[in-house]
Chain A
Amino acid sequence: MTDTAASSTLRFPVRTHALGNGMRIICHEDRSAPIVAVHLMYRVGSRDERPGRTGLAHLLEHLMFEGSLHAPKGQFDDLLERVGGTNNGSTWLDRTNYFETVPSNAVELPLWLERERMAFFLPVLDAEMLEVQRGVVINERRQAYESRPYGLADQRLHEMLFAGGHPYGWPTIGYMPDLEAITLDDARGFYRTYYTPGNAVLVLAGDLSPDDGFALAEHYFGDLPPGPSIPPLPLPADLAPPADVSHETMEDDVSFPRVYSAWAVPGYGTREWVALDVLAYLLADGDSSRLQRALVREGRLAQDVDSYLYPTALCGVFGIVATARSGIAPQALESAVRRVLDEVAGGGVSDEEVLGAVRRVRRDQVSELAMVEERADALAYAATTLGEPEALERVMDLYAAVTPEEVRRAAEAWLGAHRGATLAVVPRAGAEAEVADAA
């Protein structure tokens, strides 16, 4: 292997400006398509909720699409659609985002709408709106959790991994009783606390000059009051707690056992996080990767195996998920995964494995960042979690420098048997007959 040839450095030049009220504006100009991505990210997520009110951040995100004083219910999506735009929002552990992509002539419309719901949302928030969106979210939860095979596994895995009140321990969608219990005052209070200019980052990416972008941002957001300062939440003392040996089995209406393992690891953007990301690709992305060979292609124990690393701020979460083939017990999957991790930690990995993994990371980064919408998200996320948008390029550049020894050390330091949580989901006793009847 001569050079990294993971080469082609990705560059996303930005200019940054802060408004008087503290709102940060980031402009990234790219004229290749006549569209602009508008991305507003608030530094608030499910980690800022209180026990008993989980799901509040996400339910509020739903409410934010239901209208504002001068753009009443139904108008938000309607106005954006009729100019050829798209819009959505999402809530996660550390942040909530609202984003629109529009033809470049229409860039002011999403800015006007975001101003509306940053300044004129509370007067329209009412009980009926809350009840309808509570129903929508409860159905979202049923669809993705209760009614989906293995749907409750991630929730349980996180409870196990983040026992003891760590704010990554509950699901972003919220627990069902909490969703039922959320009140109008909860929603109002959360909005007042976190939906302020000083807690927001606005990215304008695409067919727009930074100067024009800054002027538009000043026009639509410059006069908004900064809002109260945000009370700091008590954070866990150790952000990546070494969990005790933690192992559970859960029954579900499924045909095959599936084994989930997760570890708390260093947070997004650290050098160790980047080495772990390379490790995640090296372990299970691509049919020649370690876990695909050991569990699927050669071992023939699993139908599928996947690995992932969350880019979360307080700490990262490294996960491995494998589904058993017929006749294979979950214990066989667990020991095979453990064996592979021990081999990596003990015997290390090759230059070629690292090179291939870095290229595969790069392939996925390039695919994702081909869209200005995704680029705006990535820049907003870097600014929100790492302090500045330039951190995105810095993180991407770290990949080319990752060495096999760093990958080995990451496996050894963070993915030890004593640190992880493992959950085996197994077919419910007697479930087979039921499913046969239904089909």
Chain B
Amino acid sequence: MPPEATLPVLPRPTLGPPPAPRVPRPERYALANGLRVVAAPRAGVPQVVLRLVLPAGSVAEPRDFPGTASLVGHLLTEGTESTSADELHARLDLLGAGVQPSVGHDFTEVETVLLSETLAEGVALLAEIVTRPVFPPDQTERIRAESLDALVARLDEPANVADDRALLEAFGAHPYGLPPFGTTEGIRTVPREVLAAFHAAHYRPAGALLVAAGDFDPAELREALERGFAGWSGAAEPVVHPPIPAHPANAGRLVAVPWPDAEQSEIRVIGLGISRRDPDWIRAGVANFLLGGSTITGRLGANLREDKGWTYGVRSAFSAGVQPSGWLVETAVDGEATADAVAETMREMRRLMEEPVGAAELRRVKDALMLSLPRLFETPTGVAGRLSTLEAYDLPRDWWDRYPAAVEAVTADDVRRIAREHFDPERVVRIVVGAVGGVDGR
């Protein structure tokens, strides 16, 4: 007799009330030079995460040289007024510090991960790197050459080709239409002086923001920041955001990029999306979660993966940006199922526009979003990420306290409106890279 025939069936447990999330209450202040600081200390693992956010993304770079912002980010650690690149790296590595610049469309973020006992030295090094880089010719040319090689290598991968094409299809000539790391032409030709000028214009304390999370003494941090960043001054030049196109030029169409011998097809569906500051952000998040926010339980995942077995995963998401910066579905499917997978994706999108979402499904999604809050503030990295988003986009400081009620307030009508505005097949572009035989533009 199999064991399951004799074992008692235990009832599914009933659960008590969910715990309140511990939303951090950070200390906020500005240094004498205007740098805004958000400090969220909490005892725990001996780690400090510092996230410096600068309005120095690719949108701010000169249009003739896409890749400027990215090269500047990469070159921060390659030599300063007083320290050579080799010495800087030796010092960082001896501390065990991890300094990771990441350049996006709107912001450049420099994340520094330190062991708590190295806080003072780590802050001093971070300040030196960010405020006094000199872009030495030799290192600049090395990073330029490596970046050019990396751009070529990227395009070996159909997923990257699909991602790049999606941005281009949605945003055309707007800077959001290019990946934040720029173009071959831009990286190849940008003069060193332009890099230095970009740094001088956009890496300034007024307009920047530093978030600290982890196990540290707040007074020690403040003192280290005042000391380290003392010589830094001025305000970042304002960034001009050109208007977003009214709609993607190929809205309603399918763009096919053949890839020889592909066993899978990379599929992207892209629309314009909404700004991170848009009052619809939470409503859009609920609607998106229903469709493709979770790779297994979302309608797309339940259909394409769990029902059909065509893909390992499918997801959709609104990107956060100062301007609307895209709503994207992404998946890689069995080459033979390409046309069917595109059609099913469109069908699921249309279904959300046409049929009201049922109460039970909406309840499920709201619960999933609201009740997952306790996990978001578990680690220093998580805290730093959430706090820097609030500050960078100038969102209400009690955002996370108000979040559950805001999610609860979303109605089935809201979901349908969001679906009509953003998931309408006529408003998005479909991109297929791979086995394109059998897919057509309709």
Q: Are B262 and A147 in contact (CB under 8 A)?
A: yes
A136's partner among B3, B157, B311, B379 (CB-CB below 8 A) is B311
Q: Which residues of A contact B15 (CB under 8 A)?
A: 83, 105-106, 108-109
Given A115-B10, A325-B146, A147 and B332 contact (CB-CB distance below 8 Å): yes
Closest to A8 in B: B46
In whole angstroms, how far apart are the Cα atoms of A352 and B90 in the complex?
A: 10
Find residues 1-60 in chain B having any chain A CB closer than 8 Å to their own CB: 2-4, 7-10, 12-13, 15-22, 42-47
In whole angstroms, how far apart are the Cα atoms of A224 and B96 in the complex?
A: 47
Closest to B42 in A: A32
A122's partner among B2, B12, B77, B161 (CB-CB below 8 A) is B2
In the complex, how many angstroms separate the beta carbon of A324 from the nearest chain B beta carbon?
9
Q: Are A105 and B19 in contact (CB under 8 A)?
A: yes
In whole angstroms, how far apart are the Cα atoms of A7 and B93 in the complex?
A: 16
In whole angstroms, how far apart are the Cα atoms of A101 and B375 in the complex?
A: 8
For B, the interface residue count at a CB cutoff of 8 angstroms equals 90
Q: Does A254 contact B (CB under 8 A)?
A: yes
Q: Which residues of B contact A122 (CB under 8 A)?
A: 2, 4
Count, A-B residue pairs, CB within 8 A:
255
Q: Does B409 contact A (CB under 8 A)?
A: no
Q: Does B307 contact A (CB under 8 A)?
A: yes
Q: Are B77 and A287 in contact (CB under 8 A)?
A: yes
Q: Does B339 contact A (CB under 8 A)?
A: no
Q: Does B377 contact A (CB under 8 A)?
A: yes
Q: Does A186 contact B (CB under 8 A)?
A: no
What is the interface of chain B mostly: helix, strand, loop, or mixed?
Answer: mixed
In whole angstroms, how far apart are the Cα atoms of A369 and B263 in the complex?
A: 38
Q: Does A251 contact B (CB under 8 A)?
A: no
Q: Does A209 contact B (CB under 8 A)?
A: no
In whole angstroms, how far apart are the Cα atoms of A71 and B9 in the complex?
A: 11
0/1 string, B239-252, CB within 8 A of A gives 1: 00000000000000
Given A34-B19, A82-B364, A438-B260, A112 and B13 contact (CB-CB distance below 8 Å): yes
In whole angstroms, how far apart are the Cα atoms of A359 and B122 in the complex?
A: 13
Q: Which residues of A contact B308 (CB under 8 A)?
A: 132, 135
Q: Which of A44-52, A137-145, A161-169 contacts B (4 or more CB under 8 A)?
A: A137-145
In whole angstroms, how far apart are the Cα atoms of A101 and B376 in the complex?
A: 12
Q: Are A132 and B307 in contact (CB under 8 A)?
A: yes
Q: Which of A235-243, A360-368, A401-409 contacts B (4 or more CB under 8 A)?
A: A360-368
B294's partner among A7, A81, A286 (CB-CB below 8 A) is A81
Q: Which residues of A contact B3 (CB under 8 A)?
A: 119, 224-225, 227
Q: Which residues of B contact A227 (CB under 8 A)?
A: 3
In the complex, how many angstroms separate the beta carbon of A380 from the nearest chain B beta carbon?
19
Q: Which of B172-180, B277-285, B318-326, B365-373 contacts A (4 or more CB under 8 A)?
A: B365-373
Given A105-B19, A367-B381, A438-B258, A286 and B92 contact (CB-CB distance below 8 Å): yes
Q: Does A247 contact B (CB under 8 A)?
A: no
Given A139-B332, A363-B97, A363-B113, A32 and B156 contact (CB-CB distance below 8 Å): no
Q: Does B185 contact A (CB under 8 A)?
A: no
Q: Which of B147-155, B230-238, B387-395 contacts A (4 or more CB under 8 A)?
A: B147-155
Chain B CB within 10 Å, residue with most, of A84, A86, A119, A137: A84
Q: Does B309 contact A (CB under 8 A)?
A: yes
Given A148-B157, A325-B149, A133 and B309 contact (CB-CB distance below 8 Å): yes
Q: Are B375 and A142 in contact (CB under 8 A)?
A: no
Beyond A139-B312, A366-B46, A372-B378, list 6 extra A-B contacts (CB 8 Å).
Answer: A7-B117, A34-B19, A112-B13, A147-B158, A253-B156, A289-B93
Can you list 24 contacts pairing A with B, beta carbon distance less than 8 Å?
Answer: A33-B22, A35-B374, A81-B368, A82-B371, A83-B18, A101-B375, A104-B19, A111-B13, A112-B12, A132-B309, A133-B309, A139-B311, A139-B332, A142-B263, A149-B157, A220-B10, A256-B149, A288-B90, A288-B93, A325-B149, A363-B114, A372-B378, A435-B155, A439-B257
Instruction: Please provide the 8 A-B residue pairs with the shortest distance between their CB atoms, ordered closest to farther.
Output: A84-B371, A359-B96, A135-B309, A34-B19, A108-B13, A286-B93, A287-B89, A140-B312
